[in-house]
Amino acid sequence: MSASPYDVNALRHAAGEIITNVRELAAAGWTPATSSNFSRRLDERHAAITVSGRDKGKLTENDIMVVDWDGKAVGSDHRPSAETLLHTQLYARYPDIGCVLHTHSQNQTIASRLYSGKGVVKLDGYELLKAFRGNETHETEVLVPVLPNSQDMHTLAAQVDALLDRQPMWGYLIDGHGMYAWGRDMPEARRHLEAFEFLLGCELELRKLQR
């Protein structure tokens, strides 16, 4: 029997981490109707990612599989997330990225609709901006790009790459779709995702009050 191309213990650990964290994100209502997908880097060529179409609130080890940077399944007959390329492009580009989270919360979806014309949500002056790695003061701004939605992941991935060529970022919105956020590991990716969610919620509430 040939050896596995990835560390099976690393997979087990990554799967446990995804399952625990995603259960909490799902309980918050951020993964409705089987939407959303989640991944964790295993090594310099492989990531653990959710199987396509599964109920993200009820994940088990069977719902997590391995892919390479081309988005191809490794050692599994399951179909990886339809949006696998949006995860693997980040791992391939940044060796220090260890976790990518994609959710469909109501705040993320509504903000993506409201700001798709501008193509960006500007977050500035919030203390919570310090939740993003590298920020040490509220006196800064974080720009959250809003990309047009597409069912063609190569098109979306090319747009993300073009953005990353211009500016460092920890996440983006897709119009009418949801949010991608990432970090060096699960706690950091989750902190970034939660900060985006909170701050987008603030912007939406402010818009209502300012009407």
Binding annotation for Zn(2+): 102, 104
Phi, psi of 177 (to 5 degrees): -125, -75
Write the CA distances from 136 to 36, 53, 124, 145, 167, integer angstroms: 30, 39, 13, 21, 18
Contact status: 188 vs ligand MRU (CB under 6 A):
no
- In the bound state with ligand MRU, the residue whose beta carbon lies nearer, of 42 and 84, is 84
Residue 11 has which token pair?
Answer: 């997979």
Single residue of 15, 22, 25, 81 touching ligand MRU by CB under 6 A: 81
Q: What pairing do the DSSP bridges indicate for beta strands 141-147 and 171-174?
A: parallel
Q: Phi and psi (nearest 5°) for 173?
A: -105, 155
Cα(199)–Cα(129) distance, integer angstroms: 8
Interface region with ligand MRU, contact rule CB under 6 A, candidates 3-11, 14-22, 48-56, 199-207: 48-56
Q: Which is nearer to ligand MRU, 15 or 142 (CB)?
A: 15
52 binds ligand MRU (CB under 6 A): yes
Q: Contacts with ligand MRU in 121-160 (CB under 6 A)? A: none
- Contacts with ligand MRU, residue ranges (CB under 6 A): 33-37, 50, 52-53, 81-83, 102
